[in-house]
Every structure is written in C-alpha cells, then in structure tokens.
Amino acid sequence: MDTIKQLEWRYATKKFDASKKLSKAKLNVITQAFNLTATSFGLQTIKLIVIEDKKIREPLVEAAYHQSQVLNASHLLIICIQKNIEDDDVKNYYNNIKDIRNTPENILKPYREDLISMMQGMSEQVGQQWSTNQAYIALGNLMTVCAIEGIDSCPMEGFSSTKYDEILKLDEKGLKSVLLLPIGYRAEDDMFATFKKVRKPIEEAVIII
C-alpha cells in the first residue's frame, strides 16, 4: 500500500457512478473506522447516519444546494453531533471502561466526577462546538480510510444543517447534522477526477525545526 499514491488518487468526487454499489464488507470497514475514530476523552458525542435509500435522499439534494453527489453516491454518510451532553453520557462511558477493562471503581470515580463537572461547565453552544471538532476528526479519518480502500468520497459542509435535521427528524434523536460524506465510485466522466491537485509547495505548508 502506497499511502501517498492513494491520497493523490482521492479527490472530492462531484459525480458518482450511480450504478456502482459499495459491498457490505466495504461499508463495514467504513462504519468500523468511524467508531474507531479518536475523540476527546473518548466520549464519542458524535453519531454516523448511513443512508442507502434513494427515496430518503431525494429531498436532501436541494437542501445541499443541489449538489447531486448526495443522491448519486452509493451511500450518503451524515456525521452528527449530540445536541446535549448529559451526565449519563459520561456515566455510560465509564461503565463501558469498567466492563471492557475491569478497571476498579476507586480508580474510575475521580476521573468520572471530573469529566461530569467539566461537561456541566460547558454551555450548550460550547458543547456543540466541542462535539463538532470531533466530527471533523471523524471526517478526516473516513476520507483517509476511503482513499486506502479505493472508495471515492466527497467531504461536504455545503448543506443546510437546519433543513437536514428537519427532513430526517434528527431533533427527535437529540442530534444535529454537521458534515456530509457521500461515498461510492466515481463516474467515468467526472472531469474533476482528471484535475491536477492544487496544493502549496511542501516547504510552504510544513515548517521543520
């Protein structure tokens, strides 16, 4: 596997081949990669919604400024954040650690209490921004995994989060959409696939001290 070759191969795909579907195995890699994404404290206040059904996706195109990737891709991934972070999120997380690692309660207790008070100290807006930061890490991780797996993708923040939340009734799930990632396989005639990558010279982008 040549990592750089795959990162050069990937591009923000504008036109997907609507007839090409991702296999269950490939989709499984993507969902697992999402769940393996590192998050601050490991709290995972983000959620991935995977939509294959085109009927559900149809009204989402207009709400993404008519970007057709949303419909033509094999699957549409929506990265969401929790609207609120509750004490139970922290408690469930520490219960999970206890179950998985057999960590004694006396060791976990102070960490759990610290994290609960830290989360309580965040306003709803600050908490949502904090979760949004995690969502971007997940986006980057998924884009790289897609590249390595030979899956095309298009990172997207060009959509109306309010409209997506309404259409998909995300409010009822306590979620807010923050990022889209249509995934699948590029159409043969997507001209963007042939464009050269535009990046700063490496010496300008990286400072080595």
Ligand X SMILES: Cc1cc2nc3c(=O)[nH]c(=O)nc-3n(C[C@H](O)[C@H](O)[C@H](O)COP(=O)(O)O)c2cc1C
Residues of this chain that interact with ligand X (CB under 6 A) are 11-12, 14, 67, 154-158, 197
Q: Which is nearer to ligand X, 97 or 167 (CB)?
A: 167
Q: Are 143 and 156 in contact (CB under 8 A)?
A: no
The residue with its CB nearest to ligand X is 158
| Least Cβ distance, residue 50 to ligand X (angstroms) | 19
Q: Which of 133, 136, 183, 137 is nearest to 157 (CA)?
A: 136
**Residues 193/162, Cβ–Cβ less than 8 Å:** no
Which lies closer to ligand X via its Cβ, residue 202 or residue 208?
202
Count the neighbouring beta carbons within 10 Å of the beta carbon of residue 9. Answer: 13
Residue 65 beta carbon to ligand X: minimum distance, rounded to whole angstroms = 8
Least CB distance from residue 126 to ligand X, whole Å? 21
* Rounded least distance, CB 14 to ligand X, Å: 6
What is the closest distance, in whole angstroms, from the C-beta atom of residue 161 to ligand X in the complex?
12
| Backbone angles phi and psi of 64, in degrees to 5 | -115, 40
Q: To the nearest 10°, report the CA torsion of 110, 114, 119, 121.
A: 150
116/143 with CB nearer ligand X: 143
H or E segment to which residue 111 belongs: helix 105-120
Nearer to ligand X, 127 or 155 (CB): 155
- In this structure, what are the phi and psi dihedrals at residue 171, rounded to the nearest 5 degrees? -55, -40
The residue (of 41 and 59) whose beta carbon lies closer to ligand X is 59
Block residue for tokens 């795909």 = 13
